[in-house]
């Protein structure tokens, strides 16, 4: 380049949405991804049409993974996918009892579960957490070991073997515990409301984490940020109502789902524009429900439910790249 010449500025890439697929007459109770063309969904149906509860999207088409015969149809509550031969689910059995099952690529191994359906966190086949009813159970590949928790759990997030979060409530107040590889440690937090509230989800590590909660009715939503060894309240944008999901953006910020999609970073909230999804036959998108980041990328998979004749009709799966 000649002296005195100024290199042209490169414009930042524009955010993009790419419609991938739709599930007619159905919704996702949970979904997971291990890559740009690897999405697993669990869900139910809006109508009497028979729909398999566990599906795989490979970027081109849907396939069905047959679930255990012990599992009640459409009743998968929890789903964690590490690889195609390492899938964990939790849900209700045909006997209306809780169960946990593992797919090893060939067969399902099913374990009946006492009490409520547990939420799952997985490091590997030999390092699994299942929490419910004030108890955290850990699987080492051979057996389960139970530990009492000082909270009633609603969610668990596993960063690594010695870095696990569990959140929920203790009495009338929200609570969060952290596993450091040796013990569950209580953390101090203060909800920005005097009403009875709980934490509903958590994501992050021992150094940086996000959690959200609300009252049992969905009122009084709040967002907390863990950094520097303490939780602090993050004021919500006035346009945000009840929260249904959060996801770290990989750059110090967080996405929050409240029918619409919002992004928070450096003290500022931004509402993400949801365009008409190119290629989608459904122009009336009702509300976004879930978002999850694609590992190793800066893009996200999202789930948005749509209406037809003013009634729930199905789910749109789309990929968002900021």
Give residue limits of the domains in the chain. Answer: 16-79+114-321
CATH class of 16-79+114-321: mainly beta
**Per residue, what are the HEC states of 31-54?**
EEEEECCEEEEEEEECCCCCCCCE
Retrieve residue 261's tokens. 């999609």
Sequence-distant (≥ 6) Cβ neighbours of residue 262 within 8 angstroms: 237, 239, 240, 255, 256, 269, 270, 271, 272
Query: What is the reported pLDDT for 2?
Result: 41
Our CA angle for 181, 184, 190, nearest 5°, is: 135
How many residues in the chain? Answer: 322
The 10 Å Cβ neighbour count of residue 28 is 22
Render the burial of 49-81: b for 16+ CB within 10 Å, e for the rest: eebbbbbbbeeeeeeebebbebbbebbbbbbbb
pTM of the model: 0.89
CB under 8 A, 24+ apart: contacts of 125-128:
125/82, 125/86, 127/161, 128/88
pLDDT along the chain (322 residues), means of 10: 47 74 73 91 63 80 89 85 95 90 96 94 96 97 96 96 97 94 93 81 95 82 91 95 93 94 97 68 67 91 76 78 92
Retrieve residue 220's tokens. 């009084």
Query: What is the reported pLDDT for 16?
Result: 84
Please tell me the distance from the alpha carbon of residue 193 to that of residue 23, in angstroms, as a whole number. Answer: 38
């Amino acid at each position: 380049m000649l002296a005195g010449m100024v290199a042209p500025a490169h414009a930042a890439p524009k955010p993009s949405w790419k419609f991938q697929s739709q599930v007619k007459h159905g919704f996702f109770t949970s979904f997971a991804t291990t890559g740009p063309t690897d999405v697993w969904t669990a869900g139910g149906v809006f109508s009497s049409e028979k729909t398999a509860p566990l599906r795989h999207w490979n970027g081109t088409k849907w396939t069905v993974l047959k679930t255990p015969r012990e599992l009640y149809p459409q009743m998968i509550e929890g789903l964690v996918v590490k690889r195609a031969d390492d899938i964990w689910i939790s849900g209700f059995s045909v006997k209306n009892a809780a169960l946990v099952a593992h797919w090893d690529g060939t067969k399902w191994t099913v374990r009946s579960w006492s009490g409520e359906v547990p939420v799952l966190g997985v490091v590997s086949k030999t390092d699994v957490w299942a929490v419910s009813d004030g108890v955290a159970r850990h699987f080492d590949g051979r057996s389960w070991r139970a530990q009492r928790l000082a909270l009633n759990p609603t969610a668990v997030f596993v960063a690594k073997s010695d870095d696990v979060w569990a959140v929920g409530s203790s009495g009338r107040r929200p609570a969060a515990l952290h596993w450091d590889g040796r013990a569950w440690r209580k953390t101090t937090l203060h909800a920005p409301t005097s009403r009875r509230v709980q934490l509903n989800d958590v994501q992050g590590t021992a150094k940086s984490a996000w959690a959200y909660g609300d009252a049992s009715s969905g009122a009084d939503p709040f967002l907390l940020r863990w950094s520097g060894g303490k939780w602090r309240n993050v004021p919500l944008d006035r346009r945000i109502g009840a929260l249904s999901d959060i996801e770290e953006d990989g750059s110090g910020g967080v996405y929050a789902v409240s029918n619409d999609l919002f992004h928070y970073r450096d003290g500022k909230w931004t509402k993400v524009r949801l365009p008409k999804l190119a290629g989608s036959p459904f122009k009336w998108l009702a509300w976004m429900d879930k978002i999850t980041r694609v590992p190793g990328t800066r893009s996200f998979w999202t789930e948005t439910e749509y209406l037809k004749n003013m009634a729930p009709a199905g789910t749109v799966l789309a990929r968002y790249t900021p």
